[in-house]
Amino acid sequence: MKIIEGGIAAAKGFYAAGLFTGIKNKRKDMALVYSKGPCKAAGTFTTNLVKGAPVKYDMEMVKLSPYAQAIVVNSGVANTCTGKTGMEYCRQMAEAVSTNLNIPQDSVLVASTGIIGKQLPMDKILWGIENLAPILGNSPEDGTSAAEAIMTTDTKKKEIAIEFEIGGKTVVMGGMCKGSGMIHPNMCTMLGFITTDISISKELLQEALCTNVQDTYNMISVDGDTSTNDTVLLLADGMAGNPEITERNDDYYKFLEALNYINTYFSKRIAEDGEGATSLLEVNVINADCKEQAKKLSKSIVSSNLTKAAMFGHDLNWGRILCAMGYAGANFNPDTVDLYFESNAGKIKLIENGVEASFNMELAKDIFSESEVIITADIKMGNEKATAWGCDLTYDYVKINAEYSS
């Protein structure tokens, strides 16, 4: 497996573009992704009962349409809590893409992110689609332009592409995502789009995405809020020329490994770019009795506001970590827990068998002051493990969200 240039437009047959339309004040705010040929499509979506119109639209399209061929995305306005008008605007977006690219309307997927409760400015949206279609390209710059256009409070674009071997053929997978606040997903992330030229059945494509999301996007928490518009879409156009994957064989698991690489990368980038964040927190729970126990414990630690605040202040208040484990809803013995802190500055054991160990305080503070900190909790009950990602909780998080719609 090798990282390559190109992002969302790296795989054979895919094109992308980003554009400023005026939905937002200054930054690019619309992106278009297009495949020359029909694609198998898979998707995962928010479990929030309040779902954006694009989520409802895409859920139906992914399930019922024979194939997908384009994704149109706007940032700045979420098209959520917009009633029948919002659904009609989704259809108008798909129709406009269909007209401009000469593809079936039901092959177009739509996505929106931004402020909830406002109607889409359709004059700008339709102008954007008309002007995106002619500038579609497959260069790394085209992929980057699309990645920039889907950002909201993100401070960094998030994109990656890799290549790997399947059935004697070189397969490429690339993607882009956005996410900074309202991150506490369950079944997906904020907005994530992945393209690949692998040949695989629609059923296994959906299975792979649903399976991998559980160990990647579902293990992030920035602020405990589950978005109304969370969406991950995965398109496969089959242009790599590998024998179609129709069963869970070695090729399927190689594909799953590549998908996990992409989604883990995005999960960490979303966590470290949490609104106002200054550091990335990775939490590993090891030697658990079962996978679900490890997931509950690691997610509880990474979601703890007290732990996140201590991380921002470089405060070695390890009691907050054990406290978060205690209310996670997973049974364990606090008297056997070992707790380790690790970063580029070194590694120390803070707790041994549930009580404070002897450690170098200055080294501990240096470790906790790095931009990426790893906490490992060994609960000594079995052989299972899980990893979760989050970030510190800063003054800037409150400031950003106090002024979000102003």
Which residues are identified as catalytic? 189
Nearest to 233 by CA among 18, 67, 23: 67
Contact criterion met (CB below 8 Å) for 116 and 226 = no
With the CA atoms of 226, 230, 234 and 235 taken in that order, what torsion angle do they form, in degrees rounded to the nearest 10? 170
Q: Give me the sign of the Cα torsion angle 390, 394, 396, 402.
A: positive
Contact criterion met (CB below 8 Å) for 244 and 294 = no
CA 201 to CA 125: how far, in whole Å?
Answer: 33
- The number of CA neighbours under 13 Å toward the Cβ of 140 is 8
DSSP 166-191: ETTEEEEEEEEEE-SSS---SSS-SE
User: Using alpha carbons only, what angle is made at residue 229 by residues 65 and 108, rounded to the nearest 5 degrees?
Assistant: 25
The phi, psi pair for 57, rounded to 5°, reads -65, -50
